[in-house]
Amino acid sequence: VSTVLDCLEVFAKAGEDAHRVRRIDSGAPHCACESQQVSQYQETPVEPDEYLVRIVFDPTHITKENGGTRLNSATFSDAKSFGSPCIRRGISDSEEYKRTIEAILKNSPTASDGTARTVHGVIIVPVSEIRKMTYEIKDNHSTAQHQAFAAYATGESDRPAHAEIMVALGNMSNSKADRLAINFSKSMNNNFVDTTEFLDFDLSPYVRK
């Protein structure tokens, strides 16, 4: 895959179900579309010097234990199936943050325990960090390093700064893909920013009262 048109097609045909990431990886192996346009609503691919913002919801993405909280394994579990949705920090505006958060909360306003879902904070993900993560595949003769994650500019009609992080699946097993997503979550713990410290957008209307 080397043309803009092919990548648009790969993503347009990827669907919305849990095989979305696998279809994209099959159509564009080895993150081949990362530097291409993949959405008709966003021409500019995600650049290596960008930062992506992942909204962290309480209680969906956090586990409370020992008096504190930590990101749980659900946080980036969608990276191997649907793609982990993020917002491109450099090109988004307040309205897009608002639309994104309110759309998510409107779609699923309560958690499984019946409490209201709220915003707990954000994870600021450096794209350079995403793209330098690798995994090894060994055979009898050699060991090859492969890029583990890709970041795509999957802008939508009302959210042009929308982006997704996806596992570069290759032929990896479910358990290997889970390990990658879990390790990614762990590596992002230090990139968590509390609602009060995030200055790009006022998150206070969405926090737990």
Partner 1 sequence: MALQLYSSNLLSHTVEQFVPTFLPSGGSKRYFKIGNGDHPVSAPADKGTGDPKIIPLPSSGSRTFQRALATLRKLRSLSKGWDGYRAAPADPGSFEDAEKFLGCISNGSFNVSANIHAEGHAVIELERYSIKAHFRFLGDGKIAAIIDLPNDEWDDDLHGFDGATLPRVVAERLGLRG
Positions touching partner 1 (CB under 8 A) are 16-18, 20, 57, 60-61, 63, 65, 72-74, 77-78, 81-83, 85, 103-104, 107-108, 112-113, 173-179, 182
Residue with Cβ nearer partner 1 (5 or 18):
18
**For residues 151 and 34, is the Cβ–Cβ distance under 8 A?**
yes
CB of residue 11 to partner 1, shortest distance in Å: 14
Beta bridge partners of 167: 149
Rounded Cα–Cα distance for residues 168 and 64 (Å):
30
CB atoms within 10 A of CB 88: 24
Rounded Cα–Cα distance for residues 174 and 160 (Å):
31
CB of residue 18 to partner 1, shortest distance in Å: 5
Residue with Cβ nearer partner 1 (62 or 130):
62
| Residue 86 falls in which region: left (phi positive, over 0), alpha (psi -120 to 50) or beta | beta
CB of residue 180 to partner 1, shortest distance in Å: 10
CB of residue 175 to partner 1, shortest distance in Å: 4
Residue with Cβ nearer partner 1 (38 or 177):
177
Phi, psi for 183 (deg, rounded to 5):
-60, -35
Residue 30 DSSP one-character state: G
CB of residue 48 to partner 1, shortest distance in Å: 25
Residue with Cβ nearer partner 1 (4 or 187):
187
Residue with Cβ nearer partner 1 (104 or 124):
104
CB atoms within 10 A of CB 17: 10
